Chain A
Amino acid sequence: EAQVTQNPRYLITVTGKKLTVTCSQNMNHEYMSWYRQDPGLGLRQIYYSMNVEVTDKGDVPEGYKVSRKEKRNFPLILESPSPNQTSLYFCASSSQDRYGYTFGSGTRLTVV
């Protein structure tokens, strides 16, 4: 089944403790992206990648890092999480010849 898989689905952590949210897609898509969803703000793009080793900032990149060492994986790294990064995070992927992303099921992160 074609899908975007994120892990974990839920995570509670403490301020300052580094964490990684993994994302993997099995559709051989070139594009991958991370979004955060907050009430009243919709989905805001954190980072995106157009292909392996090619990444760029979205609208809200502060406090996040990404890497794209392999085409299928696009992990989101929070080096020192803070409470304002409590949010619902979505990874998404798309092929270069079709508009519109396929989204994962989300990771709900709480930073206390």
Chain B
Amino acid sequence: GQQLNQSPQSMFIQEGEDVSMNCTSSSIFNTWLWYKQDPGEGPVLLIALYKAGELTSNGRLTAQFGITRKDSFLNISASIPSDVGIYFCAGIANFGNEKLTFGTGTRLTIIP
């Protein structure tokens, strides 16, 4: 299947810092999604992107759909303790909801 490369694999930051992570693919996706997974829970959808170049915000989170349609970026501003978790990008290649391809995740840890 298709592969999504997500980086970095892990991040250790201090509270209040901004965070950036990205996801790249060798093939085009028509929709990009960003999920967050808390320990012991399933992933929860944060942001959905539908058009190349689109920039969408959800509170302190901002995500962008890359112009080439082969990448996407997620930024978190002024991180807080509840931001801790694993962030996943996911792409949909076709115009249907049946198949999401997930990245390998970025684990975010906040150092006290």
Interface residues, chain A, with chain B CB atoms under 8 Å away: 4, 31, 33, 35, 40-45, 48, 50, 56, 58-59, 90, 92, 94-96, 98-106
| Contact pick for A103, options B6, B42, B92, B98, CB 8 Å | B42
Interface of A: prevailing SS: strand
Interface residues, chain B, with chain A CB atoms under 8 Å away: 1, 4, 6, 31, 33, 40-45, 48, 50, 88, 90, 92, 96-105
A109 CB, min distance to chain B CBs, angstroms: 15
Please determine whether A99 and B92 come into contact, CB atoms closer than 8 angstroms: yes
What is the bound-complex CA distance between A41 and B48, given in angstroms? 22
| Contact pick for B33, options A35, A41, A99, CB 8 Å | A99
What is the bound-complex CA distance between A102 and B44, given in angstroms? 7
Among A31, A44, A100, residue most surrounded by chain B Cβ atoms (within 10 Å):
A100
Residues on the B chain within 8 Å of A35, using CB? 102
